[in-house]
Amino acid sequence: MNVTQTADVAAKRGAQDAGKYFRYMADFVEFTAADADAIKHSAPIIEKHLPEIVSKFYAHLLRYPPTRKFFLKKDGAIDQEYVELRMRHLTNFWIRTAQAVYDDDYARYVDYVGRAHTSHGADPRIYIAERYVIGQVGFIQHAIMQVLMQDLHTVDEDLGHRAIDAWDKLLMVILEMLSRAYNTERETETFEALTQVDVNQVEQLAAEAFALEHDKAKPVAMRAVIVARADEIPEGERKLVQIGDLSIGVFYHRGKWIAIRNWCLHRGGPVATGCLEGDTLTCPWHGFEYAIDDGHLLVDPSAKLDLYAVAIRDGQIEIQVPDVQAAPKEIGANEFRPRDVPPGKIKRVRVNGANVAVYNVGGTFFATQDECTHAGGPLSESDLAENVVTCALHGSQFDVTTGAVARGPAQKSLMTYRVVVAGDVARVEQKTSS
């Protein structure tokens, strides 16, 4: 493996020597097995306060323009869906950290997180100056110290002291692991004015993110849906199916049926369309890699794609999906409720079996084919600024009111569709131009 390939693997999975480096630094700060045990015993307290900690953490990030910019859509509004996704990752990380299993997988994940903030990460568009990473760790460290003192001071003072000391040492190691990726990279500070943040909104997102991560093993009401004939998907092949707003990739791999949500944990990329080599599925957007059998992220086995149970009945492929994900029964696949698509938002519907993106431009609805004409990126999962949608895959831009190309690399215009609003239901009809 050459240097470039090694760097690419490290960006997606963490450095191979991360475990060795973690143990070396842990030994340096005298982090012991007794410290790990104290952290494990403090885990219930940390989990209890995680929604509050994550909420305050992201409210802090959203106040400062240099960190806020990574959570904004093209029109400058906060991308709530992406903020919640990042909150889930942060929640997952601290739940995992509190379990006190600091093996090679954990160390590689911390190394990967450090790289993700730099030009060495999987997404070169993201760069967060090292000073903010240091500040973020300091913020979490202070928050953890506060909740441990608050909950243990009068209940178990000895555990409180041991846990605070242990977390302090561990966070020093984590900070060094995160800083390791920066080398000599620097970014000049501009000292922009702080931004007002809707704290209640952030708190709600943090509570939802915590519930999704902490309670993801709880049973959910499901329903069975027939999606295709079994003979439509031969060995080694797949088919994308759409159930309401839910896009699913159905694979027949090594004699086993697998149904995976077509939504990468990184930035919502179309992971089910990615390259499948051996048992590794790679998202086409930024190269994040997953195990096809159970959907876990290779760099973090505790983070997994949503999988759905599959059964073959009378030659038909039947999958179990959450009932809440199903399209409302009272409207058709080509219909939507205008109230569900506020200005600046995009929704995907189906017209004659094809995916169509619906856009709200200043209160008026427009619709185009969902697939970008350059490389098929899903426009319904991209950014809309006024009347221009920017494909999340390669940055092609289109005027959604006409379908015309506004910026390459795409060269072909989008097919457009007619949107008819009738009361509280709107429908999308067959294309009117191309």
Provide mean pLDDT across the span 418-434.
Answer: 78
Number of other CB atoms surrounding residue 332 within 10 Å: 15
Q: Strands of 125-278 (E only): list them.
A: 222-229, 238-243, 246-253, 256-261, 275-277
Q: Please check whether the two domains, 222-325 and 335-433, share a CATH topology.
A: yes
Decide if domain 222-325 falls under CATH 2.102.10.10.
yes
Range in 12-16, 185-189, 192-196, 285-289 with the lowest mean pLDDT: 185-189
pLDDT for 25: 92
Range in 210-219, 363-372, 409-418, 419-428 with the lowest mean pLDDT: 210-219
Do 113 and 86 form a contact (C-beta atoms < 8 A)? no
Query: Is pLDDT above 90 for 166?
Result: yes
Query: Is pLDDT above 80 for 122?
Result: no
Average confidence score pLDDT of the chain? 85
How do residues 287-337 score in pLDDT, each as one tens digit?
Answer: 888 999 999 988 778 788 989 999 999 999 999 988 754 444 467 788 888
pLDDT band at 209 (very low <50, low <70, confident <90, very high): confident
Provide mean pLDDT across the span 149-176.
Answer: 90
pLDDT for 330: 63
Do 243 and 325 form a contact (C-beta atoms < 8 A)? yes
- The vertex-344 CA angle with 339 and 348, nearest 5°, equals 65
Count, residues in the chain: 434
HSE, CB side, 13 Å, CA atoms: give it for residue 59: 17
DSSP string covering 378-426, please? BGGGSEEETTEEE-TTT--EEETTT--EEESS--SPPPEEEEEEETTEE
Number of other CB atoms surrounding residue 163 within 10 Å: 27
User: Could you tell me the pTM of the whole model?
Assistant: 0.52
**Domain extents for the chain?**
3-214, 222-325, 335-433
Separation between Cα atoms, residue 30 and residue 327, nearest integer Å: 55
Q: What CATH code is assigned to 335-433?
A: 2.102.10.10
Helix, strand, coil abundance in the chain, percent, nearest 5: 40, 25, 35
Architecture per CATH, 3-214: Orthogonal Bundle (1.10)
Identify the residue whose tokens are 């051996």: 278
Separation between Cα atoms, residue 363 and residue 388, nearest integer Å: 15
